[in-house]
Amino acid sequence: MATVAPPLAFLLALLGLAGAAFPEEPGPLSSVPSEVVRRYPVFLGRAHRSSLRQEPLHIQSILKVNRTLYIGSRDDLFRLELDNVVGDEMFYSKKRSWESNRNDIRICRMKGKQEDECRNFMKVLLSRPGGLFVCGTNAFNPLCANYTRDTLEMVGETISGMARCPYDPKHANVALFADGNLFTATVTDFLAIDAVIYRSLGNPPALRTVKHDSKWFREPYFVSAVEWGPHIYFFFRELGMEFNYLEKAVVSRVARVCKGDVGGSQRVLEKQWTSFLKARLNCSIPGDSHFYFNQLHSTSPILRSHGRDIVLGVFSTPANSIPGSAVCAFDMQQLARVFEGRFKEQKSPESIWTPVPDELVPKPRPGGCAVQGSRFNSSNVFPDEVLNFVKTHPLMDEAVPSLGQRPWIVKTMVRYQLNKMVVDTEAGPHRNQTVLFLGSTKGTVLKFLMIPARDRSIAGGNIFLEELEGYNREKCGEDSPQARQLLSLTLDRPSHSLLLAFSSCVVRVPVARCQLFSRCMKNCIASRDPYCGWTRGSTCSFLRPGTR
């Protein structure tokens, strides 16, 4: 044991050495040489090969609509055609600037912000029937506007971006349209104190979460949102307050609201959600002492797998602790069931948190959606007792268990964290394999083949296929931990590639590099890569979907 570095020894001690449940962590079957990756096409904000490169990009948001990629950057919007990529650089087909006006910049500077913060960072980029919906921080005075899809022209007036877009480009935010309403999760003020889940722009009244109530949010970091059934689910992390010790502990959460909520009565929760509930997400390794991955970084969309709707999440340990990351899966049905379970409460500021006994929960059940045709056909006719209960009890007692009660993938023996993910559920020539691509804080991409289990549980195991450097040091510019932060990972199926967005560039990387295994059939098969196969010309080739 003398050779084990202290953090690892500590980790093993934590897990209890007897806890053999801790999975092994083999290295990748293939490490992709950097000279291969260096040739992949990169977008740097240029119109064509001979245009001068101006200041580096500050990419904030990415949106792929069919064969077009939209990129929201600092003061600029770009449109890029994914089918027109040739050579080692991608060029935009349209660029539109949206800068803050002088007055907004002056006020931003007067409030003590730096010159490079008092710009317009495009943090919201959504597609809606009429075109694009874009919000920018606008020198700490956020604004939103409609844009046309093809020419990127602003249509109509700008509207306030408050509660729709953060003030500070460093803050994480979430936005999605559902049923013609905009659902956002962000902070609504200059000082970033008032966190909110907000609905606006539709027919029903605008609604928000209760202001400055630590039971609802405590320093949240919003990660994603999905629509499922009558609800919108929001995934985030925040400081947990339900623990019986004073230490500040970050935990991961899922919250939900009813899409049809119209707010409470004039006495309780007026213009606020009557359906906001939240629960902890449990991504942990079972063993003698439980090991938790408490910090959620990203989630997948809802995936259909073996007849269930599941969501995958990438979690890590806190930055200042033992480095470790994990991917956990959650069954949406199981997740929704936690919201039908018991509520948690703290009777007095000194007492511990306990479940609320069923007989003390008022009826109709707090946090539910109003039902058409019933006595409570609208959330504003719920009894005050019910509204008061949900206002003071937004937290569920139970945590959402992960599928199979353990992570699908664990990485602890490395000096980086996994923080982004994209899943290809239609990998391989028969479109029946699942490949997970994970992005790390070092700018690398890890590729895993998921092996289905024979029994009913979904997670059989996984094979670590490949690891590659995604960040292109030569082309993207500056090399720093900040520059290597992957902002997003997008799968572009028609071109069989991934789009890796960093602050200063977008890199397009093919999903597989079969030619690297072309020396012999054995290599090709040993790669285990579902995208590759030994073909008639005696080479290892990419197998297009449908090939035999």
Ligand X SMILES: *[C@@H]1O[C@H](CO)[C@@H](O)[C@H](O)[C@H]1NC(C)=O
Contact residues: ligand X, CB under 6 A? 65-66, 130, 146, 155-157, 159, 282, 284, 286, 290, 372, 377-378, 399, 401, 405, 430, 432-433
Task: Please spell the DSSP secondary structure of 252-284, one letter per residue.
Answer: EEEEEEETT-----SSSSTTB-SS-EEEEEE-E
User: Peptide bond before 364: cis, by omega within 30 degrees of 0?
Assistant: yes
Shorter beta-carbon distance to ligand X: residue 51 or 321 = 321
Decide whether 433 or 490 has the Cβ nearer to ligand X: 433
User: Closer to ligand X at the Cβ: 133 or 517?
Assistant: 133
Interatomic CA distance for residues 462 and 312, integer angstroms: 14
Q: Could you give the residue ranges of the DSSP H alpha helices within 250-365?
A: 332-338
For residues 195 and 217, the answer to whether their CB atoms sit within 8 Å is yes
Residue 146 or 388: the one with the smaller Cβ distance to ligand X is 146
The angle subtended at Cα 141 by Cα 137 and Cα 144, nearest 5°, is 60
Phi, psi of 495 (to 5 degrees): -100, 10
Burial pattern 147-183, b for ≥16 Cβ within 10 A else e, equals: bebeebebeeebbebbbbbbbbbebbbbbbbeeebbb
Nearest to ligand X of 157, 455 (CB atom): 157
In a 3-state reduction of DSSP, which class is residue 150? coil
Cα gap 443→506, rounded to integer Å: 12
Q: Going by C-beta distance under 8 Å and a sequence separation of 6 or more, which residues neighbour residue 50? A: none
Least Å distance between CB 279 and ligand X?
A: 10
Q: How far is the CB of 105 from ligand X (least distance, A)?
A: 23
Q: What's the CA gap between 256 and 225, in Å, rounded?
A: 9
Q: Residue 66 or 457: which CB sits closer to ligand X?
A: 66
Tell me whether residue 443 or residue 533 sits nearer to ligand X (CB atom): 533
Strands 459-469 vs 444-452: parallel, antiparallel or unpaired: antiparallel
Nearest distance from residue 326's CB to ligand X, in Å? 13
Cα distance between residue 234 and residue 255, in whole Å? 5
Look at strands 308-316 and 303-305 and give their pairing. Answer: antiparallel
Please identify, using beta-carbon distances, which residue of 228 and 353 lies nearer to ligand X.
353
Least spacing, CB of residue 78 vs ligand X, in Å: 17
Tokens of 165: 């877009």
C-alpha–C-alpha distance, residues 534 and 96, integer Å? 46
CB of 426 to ligand X, least distance (A): 11
- β pairing state of 277-282 and 400-401: parallel
* Cβ 173 to ligand X shortest distance, Å: 19
Least Å distance between CB 315 and ligand X?
Answer: 12
Which residue lies nearer to ligand X by CB, 378 or 495? Answer: 378
For 317, how many CA atoms within 13 A lie in the half-sphere containing its CB? 17
Q: Which of 171, 166, 169, 181 is nearest to 133 (CA)?
A: 181
Name which of 103 and 547 has its Cβ closer to ligand X: 547
CA pair distance 115, 100, nearest whole angstrom: 12
Report the nearest approach of ligand X to the CB of residue 452 (Å).
Answer: 6
Least distance CB 103 / ligand X (angstroms):
20
Cα–Cα distance list, 155 to 181, 240, 509 (Å): 19, 43, 35
User: Which residue in this structure is represented by tokens 């297009």?
Assistant: 544
Find out whether 240 and 249 touch, Cβ atoms under 8 Å. yes
First to last CA, the chain: 51
CB of 292 to ligand X, least distance (A): 8
Q: Which is nearer to ligand X, 415 or 548 (CB)?
A: 548
CB 164 within 8 A of CB 135: yes
Q: How many residues does the chain have?
A: 548
Residue whose CB is less far from ligand X, 394 or 401: 401
Q: How far is the CB of 211 from ligand X (least distance, A)?
A: 26
Host H or E run for residue 424: strand 418-427
Q: Closest distance between ligand X and the C-beta of residue 157, in Å?
A: 5
- In the complex with ligand X, which residue's Cβ is closer, 442 or 528? 528
Residues 6+ apart with CB under 8 A from 348: none
Four-point Cα dihedral 350, 352, 353, 354, nearest 10: -130
Distance, in Å, from the CA atom of 526 to the CA atom of 524, rounded to the nearest integer, reads 6
State the nearest-atom distance from the C-beta of 432 to ligand X, in Å: 4
To the nearest whole angstrom, how small is the minimum distance from the Cβ of residue 545 to ligand X? 11
Question: Which C-beta is closer to ligand X: that of 113 or that of 199?
Answer: 199
